[in-house]
Structure 1
Amino acid sequence: MIRFLKGLILLPIAIVVVLLAVANRQPVMLSFDPFSNGTPAFSMQMPLYALIFAAVALGIVVGGVGSWLGQGDTRRDRRAKGRELARLRGEAERLRQAAPATVGRTALPAPVSRA
């Protein structure tokens, strides 16, 4: 069922991407030199669809890195809580193993009767 839903969602997206690439095949000049109008020193010609896809891919990577960096505190807290949980589980297991040995040795105090 999930495969069908993935196909149902991804197929129209793939069709739109292919149509975008076919419709925008004309070359455009990508310039990395903001000071030159004529022939920029750092420039390249590429199809418009490649420029659009590269910009989208760069946006995904930058957004992912930003999200990963923003979650650093959460990951640090989770690691610390995991270490504390492991320590407490070990202590609980140690106390469980020690408890049967001490139960037989301790005597409960006698009840106090009031007459």
Structure 2
Amino acid sequence: MTRFLKNLVLLPIALVLIALAVANRHDVRLSLDPFSSAEPAVSLQAPMFWFLFAAVAFGVFVGGVASWAAQGKWRKEARVKRREANRWHQEADKLKSQQQPRKTGTALAAPGQRSAA
């Protein structure tokens, strides 16, 4: 079911990206020099869809980093709780190994039999 939903979302996105790539095949110049528009010192010339895809990829990367950074509080809390749980498990195991079985004079009767008391 999740595979179907993923394909249902990704297929239209792929179609839009293909349409953008086909419609924007002409070369454009990306100038990184704000002072000289006639002869820029640093510029890139490539098909426009490359710049569009690069912008989308950059946005996905920045969003992923921001999401990862925002979840740092929860990852730290999970580490602390995991250490605490391990400490409690070790203490419980230590107490179990220290506890000795107690011997009493009476034993339980087998099912279907009466005790001698």
Question: Could you say which TM-score interval applies, normalised by the shorter chain?
Answer: 0.7 to 0.9
- If the length of structure 1 is used for normalisation, what is the TM-score? 0.77
Unaligned 5+ runs, structure 2? 104-117
**1:52-71 to 2 correspondence within 5 Å?**
52-71=52-71
Moved over 6 A (4+): none
Q: Which has the higher helix share?
A: 1
Identify the residue that residue 10 of structure 1 maps to in structure 2.
Answer: 10
Q: How many residues align?
A: 103
Question: d(CA) in 2 for partners of 1:93 and 1:2?
Answer: 41
**1:1-115 to 2 correspondence within 5 Å?**
1-99=1-99, 101=100, 104=102
How big is the shift at 1:79?
1.0
> % of aligned pairs identical?
51
How big is the shift at 1:74?
2.3
Could you give the per-residue CA deviations for residues 9-68 of structure 1, whole angstroms, max 9, x where no partner exists? 222221111111101112111111112121110001111111111001011111211222
Sort the Cα spacing of 1:49 and 1:2 in 2 relative to 1 into closer, same or farther, 3 A: same
